[in-house]
Amino acid sequence: MARLALIFGGRSAEHEISLASARFVAEMLADGPDEVVPVGIARDGRWLLPDDPEAALRDGLETVPAQAVHLVVDPAAPALACADGRRIPVDFAFPVLHGPFGEDGTIQGLLELAGLAYAGAGVAASAVGMDKELMKAVFAAHRLPQVDHLVLRGAAATAPGAVAAAEERLGYPMFVKPANLGSSVGMTKAHDRDELEAALALAAAYDRKVVLEAACDARELECAVLGNDEPRASVVGEVVPANEFYDYEAKYTPGKMAFVIPADVPPEVAAAAADLALRAYRALDCCGYARCDLFYERGSGRLLVNEINTIPGMTAMSGFPRLWAASGVDGRELVRTIVALGRERHAARARLRVVREE
């Protein structure tokens, strides 16, 4: 039997969301062909093997006894080394980590060094997909339509000239967000100068880079993508938040949003949205799976790409599994397909030469 390390938690403001997503993935992997070893990453970065994985996923890593564990970087025999001296061989990793130190290419690089097959995008696609500035630059290079934006770095985000520069470039209202977080953590919709100053300070507390985006009067669409070299798109859904925009509360509080699947849009719009999602996926050279968020602008009818999520949420409320369920792929098939795609990608990379031909 193969052994799969389910990695959850992480050093991120999205730690709790990771636990919720990992509960879904663990349930979908239950009774499958792989033995699942849940590995938690604490907020301080420690890797832990919880005595009661179910309780750790439900109540948090800090609530259960656990022993330290680390990944052995040995491509010939990847394994988890435990504090009690045990060595647990593993042949696959499924990182369910949102935000920095998990969705940004860092853990993907570690898994590559360990020679371990893993689920989802590779190092480069993960890093670019996490950094909204780099992601927008790649989208622009591929001529994908998107809203106007401005990036401020370091002290410039809270410098006296930041507000004036944003007002001149974007106007009100505008969105202000950390460059390297998801789930709308640290994100604000600023309607005036006072709100903008507070928004800049909040975003700068999470990241050295702050992204400001022009607001557009648009409906919010989502499309899930699955695959490696020949990805396919799900049906298109529409997010209808109860709040003014799709913030953290709307995403994770029952009753704060409606998710309409399929989206009530003309067939040609749905087809164009799916095509734009696939173009965004290919632009970053993603593999495995991702979710693409789009704007369908009222009045003009334009479709704009907002962002791509290389480890999308997998909670009961999350769009990714719901979009695929509406496309005829249930949760178990979905998660096991993601594992199969990760193994396929790893096998393809293993066939590449690492020695120069004489």
pLDDT at 181: 74
Question: Which of these three, 170, 189, 214, is where a domain ends?
Answer: 214
pLDDT at 2 over 70: yes
pLDDT at 253 over 60: no
Residue 242: pLDDT band with limits 50, 70, 90: confident
Question: Which of these three, 176, 194, 214, is where a domain ends?
Answer: 214
**Claim to verify: residue 230 and residue 188 sit in the same structural domain:** no
Residue 89: pLDDT band with limits 50, 70, 90: very high
Task: Quote the number of domains for the chain.
Answer: 3
In a domain, 356, yes or no: no
Q: Is 233 helix (H, G, I), strand (E, B) or coil?
A: strand
In a domain, 143, yes or no: no
**Claim to verify: residue 50 and residue 93 sit in the same structural domain:** yes
In a domain, 131, yes or no: no
**Claim to verify: residue 28 and residue 90 sit in the same structural domain:** yes
In a domain, 137, yes or no: no
Q: What percent of the chain stands above pLDDT 70? A: 95
**Claim to verify: residue 104 and residue 80 sit in the same structural domain:** yes
**Claim to verify: residue 80 and residue 182 sit in the same structural domain:** no
Question: Which of these three, 192, 214, 236, is where a domain ends?
Answer: 214
Query: Residue 321's closest CA among 38, 27, 103?
Result: 27
**Claim to verify: residue 206 and residue 241 sit in the same structural domain:** no
**Claim to verify: residue 251 and residue 342 sit in the same structural domain:** yes
In a domain, 357, yes or no: no
Beta strands at 47-50 and 209-214: parallel, antiparallel or unpaired:
unpaired
Whole-number average pLDDT of the chain: 92
Q: Under 8 Å CB-to-CB from 280, ≥6 apart: which residues?
A: 139, 144, 292, 305, 308
In a domain, 79, yes or no: yes
In a domain, 139, yes or no: no
Sign of CA dihedral 197, 198, 203, 208: positive
Range of the domain at 300: 218-347
Indicate which CATH number applies to the domain containing 111: 3.40.50.20
In a domain, 65, yes or no: yes
Residue 322: pLDDT band with limits 50, 70, 90: very high
**317 or 81: which carries more pLDDT confidence?**
81
**Claim to verify: residue 8 and residue 71 sit in the same structural domain:** yes
Q: Under 8 Å CB-to-CB from 279, ≥6 apart: which residues?
A: 142, 144, 305
pLDDT tens string 130-170: 999 999 999 999 999 999 999 999 888 888 888 898 999 99
Residue 245: pLDDT band with limits 50, 70, 90: low
**Claim to verify: residue 230 and residue 342 sit in the same structural domain:** yes
Q: Is 346 helix (H, G, I), strand (E, B) or coil?
A: helix
How far, in Å, are 82, 235, 236, 245, 315 from residue 320 at the CA level? Answer: 34, 10, 10, 19, 9
pLDDT at 243: 61
pLDDT at 161: 86
pLDDT at 354: 80
**Claim to verify: residue 222 and residue 343 sit in the same structural domain:** yes
**Claim to verify: residue 282 and residue 297 sit in the same structural domain:** yes
Query: Residue 34's closest CA among 104, 86, 94, 81?
Result: 94
pLDDT tens string 324-348: 999 999 999 999 999 999 999 999 9
Peptide bond into 95 cis (omega under 30): no
**Claim to verify: residue 230 and residue 208 sit in the same structural domain:** no
Indicate which CATH number applies to the domain containing 283: 3.30.470.20
- pTM comes to 0.91
